[in-house]
Amino acid sequence: MSQSSKIEWTEYTWNPVTGCSKISSGCQNCYAERMALRLRAMGTKRYSDGFAVRTHDDLLDVPLKWRKPRTVFVNSMSDLFHPDVPDEFIFQVFETMRQSPQHTFQVLTKRSDRLVELSPRLPWSHNVWMGVSVEDDAAVSRVDALRCCGARVKFLSCEPLIGPVRHLNLEGIDWVIVGGESGPRARPMEAEWALSIRDQCLANDVPYFFKQWGGRQKKRNGRVLDGRTWDEMPGGVRDSVAHLTRASS
């Protein structure tokens, strides 16, 4: 339940929680749900209940066994702040991240209300990047919630971008990822939506990462926006990230 990742903005995934439920329009064609149902059909034990939320205590200490530093997307197959995940389990995940200072952990949620609720009780170590999904204008309120948390690095994932996000308040935001939806029922992303967010990032000196155009054949559609790729990352690293070169090619 931890493995190298093809996601362009990370290196590895770690899934101490699996399963989720739909909360907004961005969830309509959830890639994780498709994958979970496929894994159940293949007889994978951890997905015997399909996409139902399950916590995996035996996976909590996995990052402690990694010696070399890694960039890790936490719960690519779930949402750590889902209401079915007990508070105590979330605390344990954060404690593992605190005890693994050599790694960078990227946590992403759509449950920004629970993030705000639990944030004062969480051990926000320097290596935890916290993000919220903002798939269209209707989800912008999550950004204000993100600003209230104690993470050193705060980021937005505008993926799948299914509508314009016209007025982003980027105060206190360290990174923005944009990407179109992929898969058999992918909804199209308009270029002007991606460019609008790009321009807002440039105006506020916020790193911008364009992940993909998406579509049924996302590799064919590529990652070029306005004549170039955008691989900017937090921390002042612009235009090239050595450990992500493989994903940008």
Asked if the model's pLDDT at residue 245 lies above 50, the reply is no
Q: Which helix (H) or strand (E) holds 175?
A: strand 175-179
Number of H helices, E strands in the chain: 7, 10
pLDDT given for residue 246 in this prediction: 35
CA separation, residue 210 to residues 63, 156, 170, 178, 193 (Å): 28, 12, 17, 5, 12
Mean pLDDT of 111-116: 98
pLDDT given for residue 238 in this prediction: 39
pTM across the whole model? 0.93
Domain carrying residue 209: 2-248
Say what percent of the chain tops pLDDT 70: 94
Distance CA 15, CA 55 (A): 9
pLDDT band of residue 73 (cuts 50, 70, 90) is very high
pLDDT given for residue 219 in this prediction: 86
108: tokens are 């992403």
pLDDT tens per residue across span 8-55: 999 999 999 999 999 999 999 999 999 999 999 999 999 999 999 999
pLDDT tens per residue across span 200-214: 999 999 999 999 999
Mean pLDDT of 217-226: 93
Give me the number of domains the chain comprises. 1
DSSP string, 148-163: TS--SEEEEEE-S--S
Query: HSE (CB half, 13 Å, CA atoms) of 214?
Result: 23
Identify the residue whose tokens are 């903002």: 134
Task: Return the SS3 of 41.
Answer: helix
Neighbours of 101 (CB within 10 A): 11
Q: Can you give the CATH number for the domain in which 190 is found? A: 3.20.20
pLDDT tens per residue across span 120-152: 999 999 999 999 999 999 999 999 999 999 999
Distance CA 188, CA 202 (A): 24
Arithmetic mean of pLDDT over the chain: 93
pLDDT given for residue 236 in this prediction: 52
Asked if the model's pLDDT at residue 168 lies above 80, the reply is yes
Query: HSE (CB half, 13 Å, CA atoms) of 124?
Result: 15
pLDDT given for residue 137 in this prediction: 97
H helical segments located in 11-124: 31-41, 87-98, 112-118
pLDDT given for residue 241 in this prediction: 38
- Contact criterion met (CB below 8 Å) for 37 and 69: no
Looking at per-residue pLDDT, the higher value among 235 and 239 belongs to 235
116 burial (CB, 10 Å; 0-12 / 13-18 / 19+) is middle
Please state whether beta strands 2-4 and 175-179 pair in parallel, antiparallel, or not at all (unpaired).
unpaired
Asked if the model's pLDDT at residue 196 lies above 50, the reply is yes
Asked if the model's pLDDT at residue 59 lies above 80, the reply is yes
pLDDT band of residue 3 (cuts 50, 70, 90) is confident
* 224 Cβ contact partners less than 8 Å away, ≥ 6 residues apart: none
Mean pLDDT of 67-80: 97
